[in-house]
Amino acid sequence: MADQIMNSVSSPDGFWASKRRIEKFTKIFTTVVLSVGAVTMILPVIWMLSTSFKSPTEVFAVPPIWIPSPLHFENYPKAWTISGMYASEGITFTTYTINTLIISVLSCLGVTSSSSLVAFAFARLRFPGRGPLFILCLATMMIPTQVTMIPTFILFKTIGWYDTYFPLIIPAFLGGGAYNIFLMRQFFMSIPYEMDEAAKIDGCTNFGVFWRILLPLCKPALTTVAVFSFVWNWNDFLNPLIYLDTNSKKTLALGLTNFVSLYGQDYHLLMAASLLIVIPLVVMFLLGQRYFIQGIATTGLK
Amino acid sequence: MTSAERKEAISAYVFITPFLLAMIFMTGGPVLAAFGLSFCKWDILTPIQFVGLDNYKEMFFNDPRFWKALYNTAYFTFLSVPIGMVLSIMVAMLMNQKVKGIALYRTVYYLPSVLGTGVAVAVLWKWIFNADSGLLNYMISICTGIPMSECPKWLASEAWSKPALVIMSFWGVGGGMIIYLAGLQGIPTALYEAAEIDGANRWQQFWTVTLPGLSPVIFFQLIITIVNSFQIFNQVYVMTDGLGGPADSTLVMVLYIYQKAFKYYQMGYASALSWVLFIVIMLATWLQFQYSKWVYYEGELRK
Amino acid sequence: MKKFRLALAVAACLALVSVLNLVGCSKLGGAKIKISSWGSPEENQILVDLLNDFQAKHPDIKVELQRIPYNDYTTKLLTQIAGGLAPDVVFTEVGNFADLYLRGALEPLNPYIQADHMDLSGYYPQVLDRFTVDNQTYVIPRDTAPICVIYYNKKAFDESGVPYPTDDWGLEQFIAAGKKIMKTDAAGKVTRWGFIDDWVMPEPWVYDFGGSYVDNVKHPTKWTFAIDPDTLKAIQFRADMMGKYKFMLPPAGLTAMGGMGTGDMFMNGTVGMFISGIWKTPTFRQIKDFKWDVVMMPKGPNGFRGFATGGSGYGILKSSKMKKEAWELVKYISGEEGAKKLAQTGLAQPALMKEANTTFLDNSDPKNKKMLLEAVKFVKYPPMAKNWDEVTHSIIGPELDKVWNGTETAAEAMAKLKVVLEKNEPQAK
């Protein structure tokens, strides 16, 4: 069957002979498949959206309510101000947002710069111990954080970084984690070495090769690393939980826990808050799209 | 070493300074501490006691939950990784077209990954997997005519709880999609043009140009997703309220480690468990590197 | 170029350091004590008010409240203790009290109580007793929460023509009511169930049937769960409610809400009776569609009563360097002021009898909460063993899951558990 399709695709006078037909079919097929998938992706989010407008008793109504009436718009301001729980300290989700922004932006910068530097060395430079060091790097990804959590905590606390943002940001500048280093390394390796050579012949230093030749070619990879690290930091819960004490320093992920506690859960507010904090990420992603569309890639070494 | 080589080596060390600093100051200590702890008993509130290999002996000879956790973790990994990978690549290829509104589609597919794995998402999925009135069984009953009462009980059933987790993981294909998209963008169009001139059709181009060009990325994703799948925690924790139920059917390794460390005050044992998990993951990764001849690097590693 | 970039990085770091230092600085002078607590917004507000009052009365003591989400309480507390940042006063409940006490983390309070001639007779003796071991008190109780409260939907009872339950009802009446208030739609799907528990709780039934988990709660030496015949009957009963009498929601429908939305099910009328502690009151006061009230859990088969009980209080960690100040705080927040405020929210029954008998019994919903005063007589607490948590969640729990799902009978599960529990010893030292 596959053979028949393939043959008919390449035979000069079959139904598919016309290139335009193929293109048109592909476009329609793509759109249909994508749409079905998109619905699957977005349906749960729509439920979250609809729940964010419900009253507490409607959240788990059976059969499920898709369009609550009335629409409780007040859930949003209520969630944002955490029902006034911290009114005396002036803390609302605005506070959390600013804190999280600081952490995420700084981490993002740190990760993109340091991981690409380190990855360049692993991909392009020769030095003793390169192999073992890279393995060591990968190995750090494989230890569950739950167990290094306490020793790491003791470490940070001993150097006085408890209740500060340092434990959340500094690691980003120190390589940004094995995942990002690994990712960048793979991308560097997909670029022909001849380009480095050409630049070197022209008198470029290592750093010059890195900065002028390889980095620009890796825009999709860099964007990926940036987006991932930003999103990860934005949603990170465990680290802020154990390192932050003062209420005014807490982050968005921690802020969400205000709606769920032993004696009561405000799911409608939780949904509202969860959707609100996702909006900046979505916007960022939409705007960053053009770095994913690269157009013409490395066209040649000439 | 020649002076040129030495210069290169020094240059390299400067480049990897951030990484070295992290290793020495931030990772090294805690990892060694965790290693040491695995030979001790420690409940945090009383002093550490050295117990030699007791933890390991207990684990391998006296702990059925350990084997269950290992099995559950492997099951989840070996199901979700291959299928997820194929889905991600397919989606990435579809997203690589210049169809109208593709940016919107990409965002929609990436949206789930951006929502994280918090309580909100857990509530959502529990509703979807509700055996009596949830979305998934509802869709199944519409598409296949099986009445909802005969549909799998998902999170309430020992047999279907892990498949439920696997299905949940597919929702996150957007994450992989991004990586593959970046990879697809990196394949020179010149190669496609050359292949077309040689008479290759779309299907053949996929096998001869796309896949090899994508192979470094696939290799990367394979390693990463396997490592991550072995360490799955957040989703299981929120979906089962930290219990790994029903009847330990969703008890994955890291959940078990978390329980031992923070619910049952057994840090030493938890550390030992982590080291065993670590070795398993290392082994899996090493195997992948050993059998990585299929990966084609356009640029190649400088030997 | 390289050097320039390095310099840039260093400069950025320095800038970072200065910015973050500004954000991070908050060192005060004077005595400073820390208290850790979880809690809903109402609880938190009460505590914040109390702390402000306390600081007004004791200007030389500063109190810092550390709010930790309930689900992560132990994680964060342990992490802090390990890191040397333990709080001075710790909010604890009957479960993790045992964990802390058995590991020697709690400061004995008798010396302080005697020095201040504090009169503890105002507290429910049974509740205080939970926090007292070998005549030494470790925690001053704040509230008691017997899980014996059956919330019922009056409208559902009216519709089915069932008289409202009374506190002295027994199992037969409970089963009958549960079955009669059920509703099914035309397609045969259940639209209203008879009964559900807040989370999977065998304990209320085990105690109500006169069963047990250990031979001695405070000094357990062996697990009696699998060998006590009353326990078996209790487990069988809970399974029967789902399998035989079919008026209780089976796990399949439950996992929709996964133990999270069971209260919501009561609130939207999907279930007619709901067992939990009194703490659901503030949430349920939001119900508008129907009238509801509470009734005591039905008597067990021999007319016996026993209620699994929660409850919380404040203790002092041994590691504290400011024990005297911590004690002042504990005294104040466990006292009358706090109890009164707590009672007003309806959230919990204060451990101070006076407040429980007065403020708590105001005319707000639920009207029958006075039955809680009776309930105190029958409180039962979890065994005090270091491995209690693990045994109940990792050994007993998973096996019982199979019983609730119907893949095993209660007798089979007990037989398996007997073998395992015989080899296991409660660690009470």
Any domain includes C5? no
| CA gyration radius, chain A | 25
Q: Do C260 and B123 touch (CB under 8 A)?
A: yes
Q: pLDDT for C75-89, tens place per residue?
A: 888 888 888 888 999
Residue C92 pLDDT > 50: yes
Any domain includes C269? yes
How far is it, in rounded angstroms, from Cα B288 to Cα C311?
A: 53
> At C1, is the pLDDT very low, low, confident or very high (cuts 50, 70, 90)?
very low
Same domain, C250 and C222: yes
Greater confidence, B145 or C408? C408
Q: pLDDT for C303-356, tens place per residue?
A: 888 998 888 999 999 989 999 999 999 999 888 888 888 888 777 888 888 888
Q: Which of B44, B155, B259 is facing C255, going by the closest CB pair? A: B155
Question: Which pLDDT does position C8 carry in this prediction?
Answer: 53
Question: Which pLDDT does position B173 carry in this prediction?
Answer: 86
Residue C158 pLDDT > 90: yes
Q: pLDDT for B247-263, tens place per residue?
A: 899 999 999 998 998 88
Q: Which two tokens stand for residue B125?
A: 């999925």
Residue C14 pLDDT > 60: no
Domain residue spans of chain B: 64-130+159-290
Residue C23 pLDDT > 50: no
Q: pLDDT for B92-141, tens place per residue?
A: 888 887 767 777 888 888 888 888 777 778 777 887 887 777 778 888 88
Any domain includes C193? yes
Same domain, C236 and C114: no
β-strands C61-67, C292-296: how paired? unpaired
Chain C residues with a Cβ under 8 Å from any Cβ in chain B: 2, 6, 71, 74-75, 78, 81-82, 99-100, 103-105, 189, 199, 250-261, 386-387, 389-390, 393-394, 397-399, 401-402, 404-405, 407
Residue A248 pLDDT > 80: yes
Q: Does residue B219 belong to the interface with chain A, where contact is any CB pair within 8 Å?
A: yes
Q: Do C257 and A260 touch (CB under 8 A)?
A: no
What is the number of structural domains in chain C?
2
Chain A residues with CB-CB distance to C289 below 8 A = 57
Same domain, C251 and C334: no
Name which of B282-286, B299-303, C317-321 the model is least confident about: B299-303
CA angle A108, A109, A115 (to 5 degrees): 85
How far is it, in rounded angstroms, from Cα C247 to Cα C237?
A: 12
Rounded to the nearest integer, the mean pLDDT of chain C is 85
Q: Do C78 and B248 touch (CB under 8 A)?
A: no
Looking at the DSSP assignment, which residues form a beta bridge with residue C66? Answer: C36
> At B184, is the pLDDT very low, low, confident or very high (cuts 50, 70, 90)?
confident
Chain C residues with CB-CB distance to B44 below 8 A = 78, 81-82
Question: What average pLDDT does the segment A209-215 reach?
Answer: 79
Same domain, C156 and C275: yes
Q: Which of C256, C393, C404 is facing B132, going by the closest CB pair? A: C256
Any domain includes C76? yes
Same domain, C315 and C271: no
Same domain, C166 and C242: yes
Any domain includes C69? yes
Any domain includes C2? no
Same domain, C177 and C194: yes
> At C280, is the pLDDT very low, low, confident or very high (cuts 50, 70, 90)?
confident
Question: Which pLDDT does position A236 carry in this prediction?
Answer: 87
Q: pLDDT for A38-48, tens place per residue?
A: 888 888 788 88
Residue A4 pLDDT > 80: no
> At C290, is the pLDDT very low, low, confident or very high (cuts 50, 70, 90)?
confident
Question: What average pLDDT does the segment A10-19 reach?
Answer: 56
> At A246, is the pLDDT very low, low, confident or very high (cuts 50, 70, 90)?
confident
Q: What CATH number is given to the structural domain containing C319?
A: 3.40.190.10
Domain of C198? Answer: 149-305+385-423
Domains of chain A: 2-83 (no CATH), 86-291 (1.10.3720.10)
Name which of B271-280, C49-58, C341-350 the model is least confident about: C341-350
Chain C residues with CB-CB distance to A267 below 8 A = 261, 264
Same domain, C314 and C301: no
Min Cα separation C268/chain B (Å): 15
Assigned CATH for B64-130+159-290:
1.10.3720.10
Q: pLDDT for B194-240, tens place per residue?
A: 888 888 887 888 888 888 888 878 888 898 899 999 998 888 888 88
How far is it, in rounded angstroms, from Cα C89 to Cα C112?
A: 14
CA angle A214, B26, A159 (to 5 degrees): 130
Q: What residue type is assigned to position C232 of the chain? A: L
Name the closest residue on chain C to residue A266, using Cα atoms. C283
How far is it, in rounded angstroms, from Cα B208 to Cα B202?
A: 10
Looking at the DSSP assignment, which residues form a beta bridge with residue C193? Answer: C271
ipTM over 0.90: no
Residue A2 pLDDT > 60: no
Question: Which pLDDT does position A9 carry in this prediction?
Answer: 47
Name which of A154-163, B46-55, C17-26 the model is least confident about: C17-26
Any domain includes C14? no
Looking at the DSSP assignment, which residues form a beta bridge with residue C64? Answer: C34
Question: Which pLDDT does position A298 carry in this prediction?
Answer: 34
β-strands C31-37, C89-93: how paired? parallel
Any domain includes C25? no
Greater confidence, B193 or B81? B81
Q: Which two tokens stand for residue C133?
A: 């071991």
Q: pLDDT for B15-31, tens place per residue?
A: 888 888 888 888 888 88
Same domain, C237 and C368: no
Q: Which of A60, A154, A241 is facing C72, going by the closest CB pair? A: A241
Q: Which of B174, B189, B254 is facing A144, going by the closest CB pair? A: B254
Question: Which pLDDT does position C225 carry in this prediction?
Answer: 92
Question: What average pLDDT does the segment C162-189 reach?
Answer: 90
Same domain, C406 and C359: no
Q: Which two tokens stand for residue C355?
A: 């407040």
Q: What residue type is assigned to position C42 of the chain? A: E
**Site from B14, B19, B45, B62 to mutate, C interface, most C CB atoms within 10 angstroms:** B45
What are the residue ranges of helices labelled H in C190-315?
A: 203-208, 229-243, 251-254, 262-267, 281-284
Chain B residues with CB-CB distance to C252 below 8 A = 131-132, 153, 156-157
| CA gyration radius, chain C | 24
Q: Do B22 and A171 touch (CB under 8 A)?
A: yes
How far is it, in rounded angstroms, from Cα B252 to Cα B257?
A: 9
Residue A60 pLDDT > 50: yes
Q: Which of B143-147, B236-240, C134-138 is modeled with the greatest confidence? A: C134-138
> At C24, is the pLDDT very low, low, confident or very high (cuts 50, 70, 90)?
very low
Residue A230 pLDDT > 80: yes
Same domain, C260 and C389: yes
Same domain, C349 and C272: no
Residue C22 pLDDT > 50: no
> At A264, is the pLDDT very low, low, confident or very high (cuts 50, 70, 90)?
low
Residue in the block written with tokens 């019982």: C400
Q: Which of C105, C252, C259 is facing B131, going by the closest CB pair? A: C252
